[in-house]
Structure 1
Amino acid sequence: MASSTVTSAQPDRPPRPNLAFRQLRGQRSPAEFAAAVRRAAREIGERVSCDARYVGRVEAGEIRCPNYAYERVFLHMFPGRTLTDLGFAPRSSVRGRRPGPAEDALPARPDRPPCATSETRGADEPYDTQDTQNPYDTHDNNEESDVLRRAFMTSGATVAAASLGPLGLALDAAAAQRPVRRAGAGDAGALEEAVRRIRVLDDRHGADGLYRRAAAPLRAAYALLDAGTSRQATADRLYSGAGELAISVGWLAHDSGRFDDARSHYAEALATARMNGDAGLEAHAFCNMAFLARDAGRPREAVRAAQAAQRAARPLGSARLMSLLALREAGGWAGLADRVGCEQALVRAQAFFGRGRSDADPEWMSFYGEAEMEGLEAQCWSTLGDWPRAARHARRAAELQDPHFTRNLALYSAELADDLARGGRPDEAAGAGMRVLDLLDEVQSSRVHTMLSGTARVLLPHRRASGVSAFLDRHAALPRPT
């Protein structure tokens, strides 16, 4: 991790074990306690990816003060206690600022973190106060979001991608080619964080501009695998992290329209999964391969890849994962114009989704909620040419989408605009298209641009309809994605 621009009030020293937190865990194992934390988070609408490793870090004193999402969860689990009662240090002692009037009090859903005005924006923490286990805990990352948004709006996605720098992995080709010492747990942690950060940047802003920057950490990750490690547990984390990073980089290529590059990265992830006997990684790789095959016009391959993913995923026990994979299969059947096969897969997807979340759900599936399910179903009906039904699902997806994830909001709105245009509702299509155009300062996704261009072509004969001319003129003035 890069050194912080925030001056710590405490000198560097070995962490002090958090005995109070250990006592609260009681007889439960770290994994059991982590599952209880995740359940408590869901009760209050938070999403944290707590695992046994995180619990161990807290108890070892490595995390002196949790981030705001974890804070709300812990205070919900142990009502009447403050952070200091739970064995954590006051934020003032960790973040190097004067104590505020309500040091340990936090509103249920603040508009801004209480220390936002007294910290350097975007700076790394001097200690692990802002836990990196789950960057999808977005409610309290307003400062980071603002910084990244400004970076994208002023200098493009490549500038924002520079925030991958503090993760401890080389970001340039020369660094990736240097000899690597034997890898350790710190390297595995940096690799896992690189995957999370790339996903966050993609969710917020789209893939264009990120892809080339993210390829260098992938090379560095495989250099770590070649360097080897003395502990099997660390080796397993490195293999899993490298495979997940390959999938993330493949998705950036996929969303940027670089289908051949995406196929290569997904194949690399699949090979890594099979070498390490990692069924979860194998299911993830096949899932993305199915999506890519559908987008590349190979629907039968999409069906086969989705079915392979389901075979790999069955022992994992995640109904949400099986739901997503059934939707991937439905997309392939739609591409084959097999309405019956598509509908059967959609029914399975909805049934699995209805079983709810579970502790077995992979971390990478944080994006998959009701909005994504509606959006993927909309794509199926659109492929089958049922424009009214597709528009209903696309509208629902856009309404359900958390506005923080700008790329997905733009994607669902672009799907809605296209379905309305092809369904003979040009004025409504133009309105939806305008909403997409409003988001393009923050989103750089070739997929969204391509969809919007198709909508514009469909609307050309309807220029005299209400709002269509304004949409076409504004779309024509857009800079072409490079």
Structure 2
Amino acid sequence: MASSTVTSSQPARPPQPNLVFRQLRGQRSPAEFAAAVRRAAREIGERVSCDARYVGRVEAGEIRCPNYAYERVFLHMFPGRTLTDLGFASRSSVRGRRTRASEDGPDTQDRQDPYGTQGPYETYDNYEESDVLRRAFMTGGGATVAAASMGPLGLAPETVAVGSSVRRVGSGEVGALEEAVRRIRLLDDRHGADGLYRRAATPLRAAYALLDAGVTRRAATADRLHSGAGELAISVGWLAHDSGRFDDARSHYAEALATARMSGDEALEAHAFCNTAFLARDAGRPREAVRAAQAAQRVARPLGSARLMSLLALREAGGWAGLADRTGCEQALVRAQVLFDRGRSDADPEWMSFYGEAELEGLEAQCWSMLGDWGRAAQHAGRAAHLQDPHFTRNIALYTAELADDLARGGRPDEAAAAGMRVLDLLGEVQSSRIQSMLAATARVLLPHRRASGVSTFLDRHAGLRRTA
């Protein structure tokens, strides 16, 4: 039996792979299995931010026993089995075990992590309390949820200021940083960006303060810290982007790009270029969008992810559409489809969990819309809304808003009004300036058609929403 702590004179016990759990995954990719876990969670009223990385850590044995939320989900997925039947250690064998000392020395212990992101010696002292906090986080409304989402990071910039006495960073802090990124993405999927952006800036400042302070010696920890800070910068940049703060978004994406290049992280660099291309298109700089998307493809090609290359081809297509280059756009769209059809792989980045057939259809719809082909745009937008996983509430609202606008501009006001009403129904959950702007544009197009079926009802409800906003 290992002692309750691991010091520098006691090497950490290497994790034992969970072969049972790997066998249960079967032929599904980690990302596909993670999606199945999230679906199972929704079936029993749970919310877990399971992704391919979490599945990989379970299979590698880094998570010896899941937290209570994951336990309930796994037992629901595999009825009649116990945790030990699933390859985990029993809770009684790990309860009360302290986390190992920091990778950088015995003076630091990893922070407790109720979301299952730490290494093999997870802490279970306060799991009941952690589960209560997790429930409060997931069920709180609006601003409460946004504030709680920043909680896992647990860092304040002033505590890591250069020149002060600082505690070195270990896997606990880095894991918390990575979890903050996941939480932001999860909340954006559900609620949109507007309520999150300001609160997300605080952990981002803390993350870069840690980098500036140079508070870790281990190369592996430093790499994770750089990658986590860069991904957090992109996530915060996206929140700025989606809420219409384009200058802020550009700054955050540039920060992530600089971080990627300093640390030699090609995956992070490709992600930063990908978002830069999207932002440039939305900001009316289509030529920059094309260049950024092409740069992203050059960086991403050795990474081996066909799905990533497909998304980057779509970013390039958006730039060509903005330039009114139909040929360039169509060629990029064909490449995107061919690459998408190669399927998922373990090389797909964790952040790409949103990119499925629905997003492919939605981005193609935007291209046709920019080219003024409203019929084709509406066709693809309708498919996107129909195909989207219900978990991605924000995207359903986005695709439906795109559909409403395309129908309105294509001379189908009654159908546009019906789609617009569906978006209005979702705005109680979703706060996105992008979607609100699209809906306002649709309302302006529909004004001359007030007598068409359903149009006046939509316009009146939309006007009421604007008055109360």
Q: TM-score range by the shorter chain?
A: 0.7 to 0.9
The alpha-carbon deviation at position 449 of structure 1 amounts to: 0.4
Q: SS at 1:207's partner residue?
A: coil
1:331-369 C-alpha deviation (Å, 9 max, x unpaired): 000000000000000000000000000000000000000
The alpha-carbon deviation at position 44 of structure 1 amounts to: 9.5
- Paired residue for 2:412, among 404, 425, 436? 425
C-alpha distance in 2 between matches for 1:59 and 1:221: 24
C-alpha distance in 2 between matches for 1:49 and 1:248: 18
1:334 paired residue number? 321
Q: How does 1:188-199 map to 2 (within 5 A)?
A: 188-199=174-185
CA 1:176–1:23: 2 relative to 1, 3 Å: closer
1:203-230 C-alpha deviation (Å, 9 max, x unpaired): 1000002111001100000111122211
1:85 paired residue number? 85
Q: Is the 8 A contact 2:160 2:209 kept in 1?
A: yes
1:200 paired residue number? 186
1:434 paired residue number? 421
Q: 1:220 corresponds to which letter in structure 2?
A: A
Note the residue ranges of structure 2 that are not aligned, 5 or more in a row. Answer: 7-12, 38-50, 97-110, 119-130
Q: 1:415 corresponds to which letter in structure 2?
A: E
Q: How does 1:150-161 map to 2 (within 5 A)?
A: 151-152=141-142, 158-161=143-146
The alpha-carbon deviation at position 473 of structure 1 amounts to: 0.5
Q: SS at 2:36's partner residue?
A: coil
The alpha-carbon deviation at position 231 of structure 1 amounts to: 0.2
1:351 aligns with 2:344: no
TM normalised by structure 2 equals: 0.80
1:289 paired residue number? 276
1:22 paired residue number? 16
Q: SS at 2:29's partner residue?
A: helix
1:136 paired residue number? none
1:402 aligns with 2:389: yes
2:105 paired residue number? none
C-alpha distance in 1 between matches for 2:284 and 2:155: 35
1:376-425 C-alpha deviation (Å, 9 max, x unpaired): 00000000000000000000000011122111110000000000000000
1:284-310 C-alpha deviation (Å, 9 max, x unpaired): 000000000000000000000000000
Q: Is the 8 A contact 1:182 1:227 kept in 2?
A: no
Root-mean-square deviation (Å): 3.7
- Paired residue for 1:169, among 154, 168, 185? 154
- Paired residue for 1:67, among 67, 70, 88? 70
Q: Is the 8 A contact 2:17 2:60 kept in 1?
A: no
CA 1:335–1:24: 2 relative to 1, 3 Å: closer
CA 1:37–1:64: 2 relative to 1, 3 Å: farther
2:242 paired residue number? 255
C-alpha distance in 2 between matches for 1:428 and 1:404: 25
The alpha-carbon deviation at position 313 of structure 1 amounts to: 0.3
The alpha-carbon deviation at position 168 of structure 1 amounts to: 3.2
CA 1:53–1:462: 2 relative to 1, 3 Å: closer
CA 1:65–1:213: 2 relative to 1, 3 Å: closer
- Paired residue for 2:297, among 293, 301, 310? 310
- Paired residue for 1:49, among 49, 52, 66? 52
Which shows bigger deviation, 262-271 or 161-170?
Answer: 161-170
- Paired residue for 2:167, among 181, 193, 197? 181
CA 1:387–1:43: 2 relative to 1, 3 Å: same
Q: Is the 8 A contact 1:333 1:341 kept in 2?
A: yes
2:260 paired residue number? 273
CA 1:272–1:427: 2 relative to 1, 3 Å: same
Identity %: 70
Q: How does 1:75-114 map to 2 (within 5 A)?
A: 82-88=82-88
Aligned residues: 420
The alpha-carbon deviation at position 71 of structure 1 amounts to: 2.6
1:39 aligns with 2:25: no
